[in-house]
Structure formats: C-alpha cells, structure tokens
Structure 1
Amino acid sequence: MYQQHLLPFAGSLGWSALIAAMPIITLLLLLGVFRTRAWVATFSGLSVSLAIALFVYTMPVGQTALAASQGVAFALFPLAWTFTTAIWIYQMTVDSGHFQVQWRALVRITDDRRIQALLIAFCFGSLLEALAGQGTPVAITTVMLLAVGFSPFRAASTALVANTVPAAFGPLGLPITTLAKVTGLPVDDLGSMAGRQVPVIALFVPLLLVGIVDGRRGLGERWWPALACGLAFALAQFVASNYVSMPLADIAAALAGAGAVIVTARIKVTSPASVPVIAGGAVDLPPPAFTERQRPPHDRTAALRAFAPYLIIVMTFTLSQLPPVKRALEFATVAIDWPGLHLRTASGAPSTLSVFKLNWLSAPGSLLLVSGLLTMMVLRIHPRAACSAYVRTLGQLREAVLCVTGLLGLSFVMNASGQAATLGTWMSGAGPFFAVLAPVLGWLGVALTGSDTSSNSLFGALQATAAQNTGLSPVLVTAANASGGVIGKMISLQNLTIAAGAAGLTGREGDLFRKMLGWSALLLIGMCLLVGLQSTTLLSWMVP
C-alpha cells in the first residue's frame, strides 16, 4: 500500500511543486521549443515522472510500474480504440470513392470555407462531443474539412479550436456528473454554474474560427454568421444547463448554432463574401467558387449514401443513450481494481485511481465499430477491403497510438504518486486569489489527460477543499475546473495527436501545439478573469 506525499522534498511545498512540475516542463520544452516528435516528448516526460515518483516521492518500484501500466491500458482502451476506429470509417469512404461525393454535396450547400468551418467543425463537432467525446469529434471533423478542400494543417487547427466549449457538458453531461461524484456537491448547481461560465467563451469561438480560416478579411465579411452562431450556441447552452437538462446542453447548443449559421449566412450585411484563398502553412486545395452552371453534378441518392457514415454514427450514439439500450450496454461494463495497485491519498483514504472501467460494449470505439460495420453494408464494401483499410489505418496511426500511450502513462504516474496533488495544493495556497487560478488547474488537467472528465476526477475534490479553506464558493471554484478544462482541449497532446493522425500530419504535433498555445492562453485569461469577477460582489449574482 502506497500513501501519497504532498511535501516529499525538504518539507517544502514550493520546492516539491517545482519538482512535481518537471515532467510537464520537460514535455512542453521538447514539444514546443526543441520540436521533437510527439512520442519522444511524451516518453521523455514519462521517464522524468517515473524518476521523480521513485526517488523523490519514494513510491515503490512495483506500484510505480503498475500505475504506468494502467495508463498504458487506458490509452489503448478506450482512447486508441476510439480514434483508430473513427479514422477507419473515413478511410473506407476514401477507398470507395464516396469522399469525392461528400465534397460535391458540401460544395452545393456553401463553397465558403468560413461557413463550412462553423457548420462542420463547430456545430457538427459539438454534436459529436455531446454524444461520443474521447477524440471522436476531432478525428471526424478533421477528415470532413479535408473533404471540402481545407489543407491538412488548417483542417486540424480548425477542428482543435472548435472542440473546446462543448467539452464541459459532453458526452451527455459526464464531466459534470463526475465532478459532482468526486466532490459531493449537487450536480444541478455545478451544471448551472458551468452554464454561466462556458457560454461566455462560446460567444467568441466562432469568431476565432473565422479568423483562423481567413484572417481579418474573413472577420470583415463573415462576422455576422459567426456572431449569430456564438450567440445561439451560448444561449441554448445556458438555458439547457440551467433550466432544462444539463446532459442535453451540447445537443441543444449544436442544433441552435447550426440553425443560426444557415439562416444568417444568407443575409448580406457587408459586401458579398468571396471564397477565401488561404495562404500560410499550406495551400488549401480546390474547390474554387462555383456558379450554378458550373456546380458539380449532384445525385441526391449518391450524396445520402456518401454521408451515411456520419448519419449512422449520430444515430448509433443517440440510440445508445436511450435508457433501455444504455442499461443493456452498461450491463457488460466491468470495474476492475488494477491488480497489485494499492494506493491511498495523502489524507490516508483509499484512492479510486486504481479502478479501471472496462466498458467494452458502451465505449465510443465499440459503438464506432458498429457504425463501421453498418457503413460497410450501406457503402457495399467487401469485408476484405474493410479489413485492409483497418490494417492501413493502424499503420498510419502507429506513432499516434505510441504518443497517447506515453502521455497516459505520464498522467497516471503523476496522479498515483501525488505529483499532481502537490501541484494543486501549491496553487490553492493563493488564498482568495485562488478563484482566478482555479480554471488553470482544469486547463492543466485537460492538457495532460485530454479529457474534461479525467481532469474533474483529478482536481475536483482538491478544488472543493481549497475553496472551503479560502472562503470561496465551492460550487463556483469547482465548476471553474470544468470550465477552464474546455480551453485545454485545443493543446491537449491527446487531441493534437488525433488531429495530426487524421490529417496525415503525424510528426508535426509540435507545430500544431505552437499554433494553438497562443489562442488557448488568451481564452484561459478570459476565463480566469470571469471566474475571478464571479468571486467578487461585482458578478457574485451569477453564482447559484
């Protein structure tokens, strides 16, 4: 039995926190400064974390190795299982020729890539996050953006930025229900509080997407649809999380945002928009602007069949959430105490970190496999061709799988040894100013784990305790963990790896990280200011 230590070095919280931060510093330096390959950076960070766990936190060798092995297992199932299966479905559409049909159909809707980014990456991606999560939205929207002519780098960047604000409530409110479970706070209050923080950021993300796609010109020509999308999304997310049903917040927001884009994109409030010709990084692919006579031939039956994989995915995940179906799928779920891993928290209470949830039927990857099998039938793909596509997909994503494996091993070792708890405790020593720092913990947790749910499990209880010790509202501070976490999604190495793998950019995760870091930091500052003001009399009326 290993009990975590908060002050392993010289009895000093400051020095202990500095040492605990070394794996993260190593990871960021190698990825962002020295531009090493992502899997090299993650395994280097894992090595540093293992050394600190063994020699500073005096964690037994066996317990340290078991914690790392649990992270590896979690990386393979459900994470790698999810994104490899999602990209396999895309690969089948390419092999069967339906990828080009998707392109023609999407061009008929709009040949303006700024509107395509809003509809595909932000709205449809939010719907997928609401139903699936775990990297599925990034994988699928990246390849859909490739289908309409985005360059690989721009497709990956757009998908990463879009997969932020829906993360707090997806899939189906799981991050908030997890937060309530680890803190003992009312789930309705936490959902309401997050619904008064995240929608503020949601107002600006569509504008940011248009700026990423086409810079100042894009904002000048398409600010109106982007603003309408952000307003509709934010309002629907707020109303659903506060007054209707928190698990449905992202579904309502995605549909409202898409409706606003479709309506307002036809309203000309500035000069007629031109289709952006984008420079920088990589040149975007065709299509050019089409007149009605020049538009590609359109067969509605062929288009419906081409988009069948995405329709099947939405239907499969929607059906899986119906109470009878969900109960049947969860019946096969097994919660396993990782063999030999015995942990206690710093307070001496048994730790739940050693529990491994094997949800082999309800996991997103398993549901995607069902979707893939149905796709084979609809697209009339021979089983041998489908198997060949899966083998090629695994080959293309081998570095992505390796990277996620190292990352989750790092995360689990930091959690199990107490390194993450030391960092959180050090930050909670800021007193009332901790309200401003609370979103940073959530941001850091998601950047490390790639999941708002995991971040809430990691730091939720600590946030609640710190709030009580500093006289702040536990609901405000704890919800800020989830709200800050959404901003960390765009720099999460897990998501960066998935986006790079989907776009064929494996090895360029560092370039994506540098591209995302500035925007993530800017949005994080905004969230920190909002939570800080909500802790004062100025905006305390926003706290339920």
Structure 2
Amino acid sequence: MQIILAATPVVLLIVLLGFLKLPGEKSALITLGATILIAIFGFSLSFGDTALSIGYGVTKAVFPILVIILMAIYSYNVQVKSEKIEIIKQQFSAISKDKSVQVLLLTWGFGGLLEGMAGFGTAVAIPAAILISLGFKPMFSAVVSLIANSVPTAFGAVGIPVIVLAREVEMTDQITLISSHVVWQLAVLMFLVPFLIVTLAEKSVKSILKNILLSVLVGTVTLAVQYYAAVYIGAETPAILGSIASVVVIIVFGKLTANREVKDSYLNFSFNQIFQAWSVYGLILLLVLLTSPLFPFTAFMKANWDIFQTNFNFNVAGTLHTVGIYWLTDTGVLIFVSSLVGGLIQGLSLGSLFSLLGKTTIQLKKTVVTVCCLISLSTLMDFSGMITVLGLALATATGALYPLFAPAIGALGTFLTGSDTSSNILFGKLQATVADKIGADKGWLAAANTTGATGGKIISPQSIAVATTACGQQGNEGVILKKAVGFALLYILIAGIVVYLGS
C-alpha cells in the first residue's frame, strides 16, 4: 500500500500532463493537493511539518530556480529589445546555413557551456529562445533543447552534482574516480545524443552520412576532453571544457562544409558591433566563471561577507533545513547584472530595461505556479518518505539485475526534483548501500545515479516548464512531455545497459 501511495503523485502527474493534456500549472496544483493528502494520511506527516515542507519547497523554487529562469528569459528579451539578437542570428547563419550545425552548436555546444557554468534552466531557456529567433518552430526548439540538456548536467553548475554525490557516499577523496566512472557511463550517449539532435534538425536521407560524421567528431572530442578533465582536474570542469571543445569542432566543421554561396555571403561585423551583441552572454559566462569554485572569491565571500548572505531556515520533523542566498555570487543575480550592464552597452536606457524586467516577470506567472507546486510536492515526497519507498522498492524488485536499473533510480530522482544534485542527495546513499549488499563497486553504482539523473532531466516537469516558458508554449507541457518521453526512456535504457555491463 505504501508503494502504491508513494507512486500516486508520479503517476497522477504523468496522466494529467501526458494523457489529459492539462496545462502545467493546473497539473502541478492538482498533484500537489493529492500529495499533501497522501503525506498526511498515508505517511503520517504532521500538519505543521506538511506546511513547513511546502514553505521550504516554495522557497527553494524561488531561490534559485525561478529567479534564474526569470533572468535567463530577461537576458534574451534584452537582446530582442536592443535588436542585437539579429547580429547573433546572422553570425550563426554565417557559420553555416546547415540546420543541423546551427542546432547542435546552440544546444549541445553553447547550451552545454551554460549548463556547465550555471545550470538551473539556463541551458534550456537561452538556446531555445535563440533557436526560435533563427526561425525554428517553438515545439522543436523546446524538445531539442531538453534532449541536449542531458549529458552536460552530470557535471553541471561547475560539477556540483558529482561533488555532492561523492560527499553522500563518503568518497570525497576519490572524486576523480567517480568523475571518470560518470564519463565512461555516458560515453556512448556522447555520440548518440548529438546524432539524435542533428537528425531531428535535418531528417533527409542525403544528410545521414554528414550527420554521422559530425556526431562522431563531436562525440570523440567531448569524450576525450571530459575524461581528461575528470581524471586530471576533477568534477568542476568536464562539462565546461567538453562544451568549449565541441563548439570549436562544430564551427570548424560548419565552415569546412559550407557551400560557396554561404562563404561568399559571410557577414563581417565591426568589433564594436560584435562586442555589443555578445555583451550580455559574454558577461554571464565571465561572471559565472569568476564566482565558481574554480576561483577563491566565493569561498572568501562566504567566510567573510555575511552581510551579503540571507538564510531561510525551516525546522521540519526536528531537522533544520536552510536555503542560503549569496547575493554577490547567486547565478540569478549574476545574469541580472549581466543583462542590465549588457543592455546599457547595447544602447538601452535604464528605464526601459527595468520596464522590460516587469513585463518579463508578468510573462512568467504560470511558470511560477508550476515550479512552486512541483518543487513543493517533491519536497513533501522526500520528507514524508515516499521517494525512499519508491527507490527501495525498485532495488528490492530487481535483485541481481540491480545495476541494469540503477540509472532508472537516478532518473526517478531528477524527474521528481528537477535536479541532478537533488537526485544524488536522495538516492546516492541508497545506490552505495545496495552496491555493498550485492558485492558491486560502490563508486560505479554511485556514478550510475548521476548518469541516470541526466536522462531524467529530459522529462523533468521543471525542465519542461522552463522550455515552455522560453518558447511561449505555456499550456503545452503535456505535448512536449509526450514528444520527449520516448527519447528519455531510450537514454535511460542505454545507460542501464552500460552500467550493467561495466559492473
């Protein structure tokens, strides 16, 4: 009965979104209501702890997720308002008229870089918005951005998921080992995901050989660079360096395969025009990198500048939980500052920039409801024990075949929470415990959790909410879920086979 009750919110959300095709905000609100009843009457969570769990969930939704979504969309709106997005569009077109090259460059290359540096939806929102500006259909832009935002999330936000995972399984001294395991488990997918992206972008038979060649080149470079970074540097840089290497390869491939007409129509812009056009995104990348764990500024600030830190504390079931905001290094704040300064560089007035921020905030009202409800219900499922019940049930049911299903548990965590990091917190210890019981390599199965979590990211309702917002498709969350779920299941199956064979 507990398993049935614990599974009810997951099944209900899928039915409401995928089959009844209710809008995301209505589906999330109904599912949250059901989860509250199950938590109180099925898992004996007190009314007080239920209320605190919801408050904690809403706070986590706002800081940092909703703030980052808002600022990511705002950064794009600034580009549109200043009309500098036209220069970026023409530059991408000048690299290659080939749709597959453009899509792969934006989603896998630029999106992977955003994920590696910032995470929390930026890698879906910004590439999807630019794709639409290039003339791609909103639904396609949403789905392809979600698919691309899979492999890079393993080391997203400067390696935080793997760093947290190593801490959870008490292997912080072997973090490079876990990092290398993650890379090897994702190796096949580093070739297949780019191939899927370029095939979706250009489905003609005559493009197959070209798409295979591009995918092999990008996959090889991504694998080599990520493995080197994982083994010799750590968890912080594989996604960042791998994406940068991919961008270089895709651009070179695009220029070498461009036809004569494209080369003759190459658009030359002055340095000042290019600087203005890329000022917003350039500042985002620069500030996020400077305030990452790669540099000492963040640690120094947290230790010495308490005035710039705000903590929200929630005592749920006798355990203190804190949402901390570091205002000088918060990703949402950094994107806001970059958008504001970049907008001024692009010639917009301060008044028009703040007016645009207000309009963008209103644009996201449905997303606010959706994300707050989703994070709250995942928090309730965590504190009431529902997620643990689901994970243990799967582990018990699979027995000796457990390694085949280990990534599915990580995917479940990301589907419910929207975060690879949260999935590792929820199920990292479970994976390590089962590994000890069945005599498997603890580090390998722990890595399987984050490998699977990257697949769950594709169909996470929170990620879909980001995609629909960026593409102006609010209300079509169910349609996107149905389009993406097949790719996600295949992704998780491949990951499971790799983990099983490697165990």
With normalisation by structure 2, the TM-score equals: 0.94
Q: Which residue of 1 aligns with 2:474?
A: 506
Corresponding residue to 2:141 among 155, 164, 167: 155
Structure 2 regions of 5+ residues with no counterpart? Answer: none
Is residue 314 of structure 2 the alignment partner of residue 339 of structure 1? Answer: yes
Percent identity, aligned pairs only, is 29
Corresponding residue to 2:356 among 356, 378, 389: 389
Change in 2 beyond 3 A, CA 1:438/1:177: same
Taking the aligned partners of 1:72 and 1:296, their CA distance within structure 2 comes to 47
Taking the aligned partners of 1:470 and 1:267, their CA distance within structure 2 comes to 51
Corresponding residue to 1:245 among 234, 247, 269: 234
Corresponding residue to 1:254 among 243, 246, 253: 243
What are the Cα deviations for residues 238-290 of structure 1, in whole angstroms up to 9, with x where unaligned? 2221233331111221122122223333555xxx88xxxxxxxxxxxxxxx96
| Residues 395-474 of structure 1 aligned to structure 2 (within 5 Å) | 395-429=362-396, 430-474=398-442
Taking the aligned partners of 1:300 and 1:188, their CA distance within structure 2 comes to 41
On the 8 A contact 1:199/1:235 being kept in 2, the answer is no
Change in 2 beyond 3 A, CA 1:337/1:364: closer
Letter in 1 for 2:182: A
Taking the aligned partners of 1:29 and 1:428, their CA distance within structure 2 comes to 25
Q: Which residue of 2 aligns with 1:476?
A: 444
Taking the aligned partners of 2:310 and 2:332, their CA distance within structure 1 comes to 18
On the 8 A contact 1:487/1:520 being kept in 2, the answer is yes
Deviation at 1:383, TM superposition (A): 1.3
On the 8 A contact 2:131/2:141 being kept in 1, the answer is yes
Is residue 41 of structure 2 the alignment partner of residue 55 of structure 1? Answer: yes
Corresponding residue to 1:531 among 466, 479, 499: 499
Taking the aligned partners of 1:175 and 1:127, their CA distance within structure 2 comes to 16
Is residue 221 of structure 2 the alignment partner of residue 232 of structure 1? Answer: yes
Change in 2 beyond 3 A, CA 1:264/1:297: closer
Answer 1 or 2: which has greater helix percent: 2
Letter in 2 for 1:305: Q
Q: Which residue of 1 aligns with 2:178?
A: 190
Change in 2 beyond 3 A, CA 1:337/1:417: farther
Taking the aligned partners of 1:134 and 1:428, their CA distance within structure 2 comes to 29
Change in 2 beyond 3 A, CA 1:456/1:90: same
Is residue 156 of structure 2 the alignment partner of residue 170 of structure 1? Answer: yes
What are the Cα deviations for residues 483-534 of structure 1, in whole angstroms up to 9, with x where unaligned? 0101111111111111111111111111111111001111111001111111
Q: Which residue of 1 aligns with 2:298?
A: 326
Letter in 2 for 1:463: Q
Taking the aligned partners of 1:46 and 1:330, their CA distance within structure 2 comes to 35
Taking the aligned partners of 1:302 and 1:239, their CA distance within structure 2 comes to 36
Q: Which residue of 2 aligns with 1:489?
A: 457
Deviation at 1:425, TM superposition (A): 1.1
Taking the aligned partners of 1:291 and 1:203, their CA distance within structure 2 comes to 28
Deviation at 1:66, TM superposition (A): 0.7
Secondary structure in structure 1 of the residue aligned to 2:324? strand
Taking the aligned partners of 2:428 and 2:272, their CA distance within structure 1 comes to 49
| Residues 88-99 of structure 1 aligned to structure 2 (within 5 Å) | 88-99=74-85
Taking the aligned partners of 2:430 and 2:265, their CA distance within structure 1 comes to 60
Taking the aligned partners of 1:168 and 1:394, their CA distance within structure 2 comes to 30
Taking the aligned partners of 2:494 and 2:204, their CA distance within structure 1 comes to 21
Deviation at 1:299, TM superposition (A): 4.4
What are the Cα deviations for residues 320-369 of structure 1, in whole angstroms up to 9, with x where unaligned? 125332224434475857334234xxxxxxx57x3323333322101112
Secondary structure in structure 2 of the residue aligned to 1:323? coil
Q: Which residue of 2 aligns with 1:317?
A: 288
Taking the aligned partners of 2:277 and 2:71, their CA distance within structure 1 comes to 18
Q: Which residue of 2 aligns with 1:125?
A: 111
Secondary structure in structure 2 of the residue aligned to 1:355? strand
On the 8 A contact 1:165/1:199 being kept in 2, the answer is no
| Residues 21-32 of structure 1 aligned to structure 2 (within 5 Å) | 21-32=7-18
On the 8 A contact 2:98/2:254 being kept in 1, the answer is no
On the 8 A contact 2:148/2:193 being kept in 1, the answer is yes
Of stretches 220-229 and 160-169 in structure 1, the one that deviates more from structure 2 is 220-229
Taking the aligned partners of 1:362 and 1:86, their CA distance within structure 2 comes to 16
With normalisation by structure 1, the TM-score equals: 0.87
CA RMSD between the two structures: 2.0
On the 8 A contact 1:335/1:355 being kept in 2, the answer is no
On the 8 A contact 1:432/1:472 being kept in 2, the answer is no
Change in 2 beyond 3 A, CA 1:530/1:195: same
Change in 2 beyond 3 A, CA 1:249/1:340: closer
Taking the aligned partners of 1:106 and 1:192, their CA distance within structure 2 comes to 33
Taking the aligned partners of 2:149 and 2:302, their CA distance within structure 1 comes to 26
Q: Which residue of 2 aligns with 1:520?
A: 488
On the 8 A contact 2:82/2:343 being kept in 1, the answer is no
Letter in 1 for 2:162: I
Q: Which residue of 2 aligns with 1:204?
A: 192
Letter in 2 for 1:323: F
Taking the aligned partners of 2:262 and 2:192, their CA distance within structure 1 comes to 32
Taking the aligned partners of 2:451 and 2:344, their CA distance within structure 1 comes to 41
Of stretches 404-413 and 135-144 in structure 1, the one that deviates more from structure 2 is 135-144
Deviation at 1:54, TM superposition (A): 0.5
Deviation at 1:377, TM superposition (A): 2.3
On the 8 A contact 1:178/1:453 being kept in 2, the answer is yes
On the 8 A contact 1:194/1:479 being kept in 2, the answer is yes
Q: Which residue of 2 aligns with 1:367?
A: 334
- How many aligned positions are there? 495
Change in 2 beyond 3 A, CA 1:221/1:313: same
